[in-house]
Chains A and B, each alone.
Chain A
Amino acid sequence: MPLPKFEYLAPTTLEEACQLLKEKGDDARLMGGGTDLLTKMKRRVIQPNTVIGLKKIAGLDIIKVDRGKGLTIGAVALLGDVASHPQIKRFFPAIAYAASVTANVQIRNMGTVVGNLCNAAPSADNAPTLLAMDAQVTIMGVEGQRTIPLEDFFKGPGITALEPGEIVKEIFVPWPHPHSGVSYQHISPRSKVDISAACVAAMLVMEGNICKEARVALGAVAPVPMRGKKTEKHLEGKELTKETLEQAGKQASKECKPISDMRASAQYRRLMVEVLTKRALAEAATRARA
């Protein structure tokens, strides 16, 4: 399965990359790790005339933990580096975990967290946790820079809010609330290596056993990674009893919009969303109290 022919460009600044992308238009594709792009090209799903490699741009592989402020993950920071970063593991354990369960070892040494988001698969392993933690996306274009919430970034399967000539520069995750905890849970009927059939992230801010704030994000059960806003509303202000968790699981199962495909049936996905939501909330609560 050889690759189709293409021209390869490796700009050294983000401005140059945006300019090239705008000039080449629909004929060009950006490449970070290449693990999604090159497989699509080999299968002839897309055949761009130009591939613009981003790895020669200085600083784009940044991973920065700014105590009290937040976490920055640059466009070409590797999944493997995010997964093993000691400070991410300590302060953003669910983000490190989600990166560590994406694909396999080799792909994590090539692929990027931002690429996983830009590929915009509904099942992207890194999306739910980042959604639950209110991540922001910094986008560069020929006209300058803009920042949008990750929630507004996903528009459909494989479709993002990026305009022609725009490139994601980095994502930023604000520092977690001191009494908060986050958890990511995923399941695939085959193995952990396979793409998730359903995945759930939860973020809870706790005051004793009372849930002050909740975020629930659901993956692989809608055209885009989605927030479970009714589930969040259901949790906020409530005591986190076993019954509350049960109800939240049922609510999440109700508000997701899964389809049946080769990986799982819609019914299975709904059932798993219920289970995974309960698990994610329980772990998030434990972490919040720790």
Chain B
Amino acid sequence: MKKEITIKVNGDTYHLAVDPWRTLNEVLRDDLNLTGTKLGCGTGDCGACTVLVDGRTVSSCLTLALEVDGKEVTTIEGLAPSGDELHPIQKAFIEKGAIQCGYCTPGMELSALYLLRNNPKPTEAEIREALSGNLCRCTGYNKIVEAIAAAAEELSRE
């Protein structure tokens, strides 16, 4: 039986009726058309599906949509403050060449956002630790780490 839920995604409120077995990932991508959030392994290993729920990164593939009832979700579509200007993390990813195929990028950037909110001046080891739940199969980790370090510097200047 479907249950009614209310979730706020990137500032917009949605009232939805969802089956209990549907994941947050499915609801974001299939019902709300927010396809910036990817699906990789589906078992919480790869981090491609990472989103923020009430400010904390989670694997949306292992989150039941109805358990997000009443909560706030941030997806990659909500990262940039406006449609015109990219977030400093996004700019740094572009500038440092931290994107190849791009499939891991939404998850990587949200993990970076979560890190920098909690630890504005991370060491390289802390950046790598913070990305432990995000796999990149083009293996561009070094560029990604460099981009996050650059974004941290930029954000601390602001």
Listed in ascending order, the chain A residues whose CB lies under 8 Å from chain B are 1-8, 34-35, 38-39, 42-43, 51, 53, 55, 80, 103-107, 109-110, 192-193
B35 in the interface, Cβ–Cβ < 8 Å?
Answer: no
Of the candidates A1, A8, A42, A104, which one forms a contact with B47 in the assembled complex, judged by CB atoms under 8 Å apart?
A104
CB neighbours of B132 from chain A (8 A): 104-105, 192-193
B14 in the interface, Cβ–Cβ < 8 Å?
Answer: no
- Most B CB within 10 A of own CB, among A1, A5, A8, A53: A8
Known A34-B63, A105-B133: A5·B43 in contact at CB below 8 Å? no
The distance in angstroms between the C-alpha atoms of A53 and B130, with both chains bound, is 28
> Chain A interface mostly helix, strand, loop or mixed?
loop
Cross-chain contact B58 with A106 (CB below 8 angstroms) = yes
Cross-chain contact B66 with A8 (CB below 8 angstroms) = yes
Q: Which residue of B lies closest to A39 (CB)?
A: B43
Of the candidates A39, A103, A105, A192, which one forms a contact with B57 in the assembled complex, judged by CB atoms under 8 Å apart?
A105
B114 in the interface, Cβ–Cβ < 8 Å?
Answer: yes
B90 in the interface, Cβ–Cβ < 8 Å?
Answer: no
Of the candidates A35, A42, A105, which one forms a contact with B114 in the assembled complex, judged by CB atoms under 8 Å apart?
A105
Cross-chain contact B20 with A107 (CB below 8 angstroms) = no
The distance in angstroms between the C-alpha atoms of A6 and B64, with both chains bound, is 12
Given contacts A109-B57, A110-B63, 6 further A-B pairs with CB under 8 A are A1-B43, A5-B21, A8-B3, A38-B64, A107-B59, A193-B132
Cross-chain contact B19 with A38 (CB below 8 angstroms) = no
B50 in the interface, Cβ–Cβ < 8 Å?
Answer: yes
B1 in the interface, Cβ–Cβ < 8 Å?
Answer: yes
